[in-house]
Amino acid sequence: MTVTRPVAGLPGGKFVAGMAGENVVGGPPWGRPVLFGGGCAAGGCSAEDSLGVAPVLLCPPVMILAPRYLPRLAATVGLFTKYGLGDFADRTGLRALVEEESDSDGNGASPEKAVQFRKRLVELGPAYIKLGQVLSTRPDLIPETYVRELEKLQDAVPAIPYEDVERVIESELGARMSKLFESFERDPLGTASLGQVHAAVLRGGRDAVVKVQRPNIRDILADDLEFFRELATFMTKHTQMGERVDMIGVITQLERALLDELDYRIEARNGASLRRALAEFPRLLVPKVIEGYTTEKVLTTDRVRGLKVDDVSPLIRMEHDFAPLAEALTRAYLKTIIIDGHFHADPHPGNVFVVLPQTDNPMTPAELKARDRRGVPRAVHSPIQRMEQQAQKTAPHSTEDIDVRLSLIDFGMTARLSIKMRERIVILLMALADNRGDDAAETVIELGDALPEFDRAVYTREIAQLIARNYDLAIGEVEPGQVLYEVINISYRHGLRLPAELTLLAKALFNLDGVTRALDPSFSPIQAIRDYSNQLAADRAKKDLSPRRLFQIATASTDFIAALPHRLEVITQRLAAGEWQTKVEVPQLVSLLNGLQKVANRIFSGLVLAAIVIASALLLPYRRGLGTTGFLIAGVVGLAMVVNILISDRRRH
């Protein structure tokens, strides 16, 4: 038995699955189920040999997925085709790898199927839940309806039994529950796929929340992640969509998010780092990490009591002014993105709380600074303590005019940006705010990798039209996150591969739009971006003219001038000795040489065929049998060459 199916979007060839004793196209039976590429079409060997004939039957099969992943491949493809994402399966070439299920709903995406897709991801487990959260940042891969639905993805999974929670805490913290806590609520405040949160009171009366990791969750996730990585590697190497989208980057983003969330010490450092970064914004509260109660599988922080931004009643809105909160949150995010390069990547409404006055809540670094009367700071013994000390040092002195605050929680998903990317993002945001579409397009092109079919002029024109349309909207209607999502979509359609960090930035800004709109419907994030960017430009100019910066420039210039005579001497010595060498790199040189080699092979093969024909013609009057055989050989080889040339040229086209 043999199962073969051509793969849509592949460079050519077939991918097959076989069992022991079966006759498998593209190679011998391997004695176990395999999924591999047969022959040269899968990239197993050169398309032509020295005679110009493709040795298809001699090319070894190329292993794509391990045998144990075949059932999971079918289930994963069915997940997309059954719930309205058949177009995604077609574009990636996944649908063609498995037999179509009879209950597949095809390509018809709908809000109802998006809801079903989200629920099915929850049923499949933690890795698929995180995959859904990552897909929610990729509007270039799935429709907007699914993006919005996956942003609401909740880890609606069964609670961890209290006995398991107690066992993990006692094992990690090295003491009995009665010694660690004055009280510990058995019923969780929230349950997620990787862990759950309980309210507790520490010895001494300090209110806290304790996050406990689900037992054996690492073993459950390890195999899923390995499957996703192998599948992403296959899609990158063998599908047209893999050329346009950084599929390995998507899975790397998923792995990084999971690894960060599986080590609560990383989340603790993220929280302490962002608490320090936001200390200059006294309206924002980041709960303090309780380091003595935090390990790899247990995270303890101060407890925040507040209201979700969607649950604030009209009466509370009348009593308090929420406009400064929206302004402070936007400026804080711009600071963490542009200056710090480390930002909270998931500020959805469930992670942002409104903290009302006269409620029992932890203090901000500014409040702690105002109450601290010590002349000498305390000694610090860990990085988290050092970050807390720095937070209080940079916090403003006065907090008397602050009415209501915002609290940010859950720092498992954060993102870091390189200095170069931060600089490009500043230019991009300023171009979006000032209606400079051409500059925005050029900046995005610099951030991405253009494919051969990328048309720079058409792309620039479409980006400029997009930004112009949004610039003409009313102040409260412009959503920078949505605009950035559309930029990513346009980039995908035109063949511009963008880094995964840009999609996380789009997700953060998109969620930020929703939070600020819930706080103040008239708030304009574009105006805040424009004002903050101008301030940032002025601060950078002052920094460049500071004595320290001028000293750095003078030092670097002095070092260059001091080293210049020696470098000139070395150059002249090598010129005089005839040892001067110049290295020139031509990116397309290898392809050019390969093409010339194929042309040479075909010319040589044609000359050999011509010689056989001439020799056969000369032998025909004297040795009719040998001459006829020569003509037959020349005819067969010539026909094979013509067929091979036509097939390879069509495949390349």
**Looking at residue 12, what is its pLDDT?**
38
pLDDT digits 0-9 by tens, 356-381: 988 889 999 988 888 877 767 778 88
Section 182-192 average pLDDT: 91
pLDDT digits 0-9 by tens, 632-650: 888 888 888 888 877 776 6
**Looking at residue 477, what is its pLDDT?**
61
Q: How far is CA 452 from the centre of its chain?
A: 23
H/E element, 212:
strand 207-213
What does the mean pLDDT of the chain come to?
A: 78
More confidently predicted of 38 and 184 = 184
Amino acid in the structure at residue 208: A
d(CA 478, CA 474): 7
% of the chain exceeding 70 in pLDDT = 78
**Looking at residue 224, what is its pLDDT?**
78
Residues in the chain: 653
Report strand pairing: 284-285 vs 207-213: unpaired
pLDDT digits 0-9 by tens, 137-149: 666 678 878 887 8
Q: Is residue 579's pLDDT more than 90? A: no
- Which residues lie closer than 8 Å to 415 by C-beta, 6 or more apart? 342, 343, 345, 501, 504, 505, 508
d(CA 520, CA 324): 9
pLDDT digits 0-9 by tens, 84-118: 877 777 766 666 655 555 445 555 678 888 888 88
* Token pair in block for residue 509: 């800004």
d(CA 352, CA 380): 30
Section 50-72 average pLDDT: 47
Q: Is residue 1's pLDDT more than 80? A: no
Which residue, among 394, 339, 385, has the nearest Cα to 366 in the 3D structure?
Answer: 394
Section 504-515 average pLDDT: 85
Q: Is residue 554's pLDDT more than 70? A: yes
- β-bridge mates for residue 199, sequence order: 209
**Domain ranges in the chain?**
1-65, 68-262, 417-544, 546-583, 589-652
Q: Is residue 592's pLDDT more than 80? A: no
Q: Is residue 223's pLDDT more than 50? A: yes
Q: Is residue 422's pLDDT more than 50? A: yes
**Looking at residue 39, what is its pLDDT?**
39
Q: How confident is the model at residue 27 (pLDDT cuts 50, 70, 90)?
A: very low
**Looking at residue 175, what is its pLDDT?**
94
- Which residues lie closer than 8 Å to 246 by C-beta, 6 or more apart? 497, 498, 499, 500
Q: How confident is the model at residue 400 (pLDDT cuts 50, 70, 90)?
A: low
Q: How confident is the model at residue 546 (pLDDT cuts 50, 70, 90)?
A: low
Q: Is residue 54's pLDDT more than 70? A: no
% of the chain exceeding 90 in pLDDT = 21
- β-bridge mates for residue 16, sequence order: 4, 36
Token pair 């605009």: residue? 483
8 A C-beta contact, residue 98 and residue 78: yes
**Looking at residue 21, what is its pLDDT?**
35
Section 496-514 average pLDDT: 85
**Looking at residue 397, what is its pLDDT?**
79
Give CA torsion, residues 590, 594, 599, 600, to 10 deg. 100
d(CA 349, CA 408): 10
* Token pair in block for residue 573: 């010595």
Does pTM surpass 0.75? no
**Looking at residue 63, what is its pLDDT?**
40
Which residue, among 342, 344, 325, 322, has the nearest Cα to 281 in the 3D structure?
Answer: 325
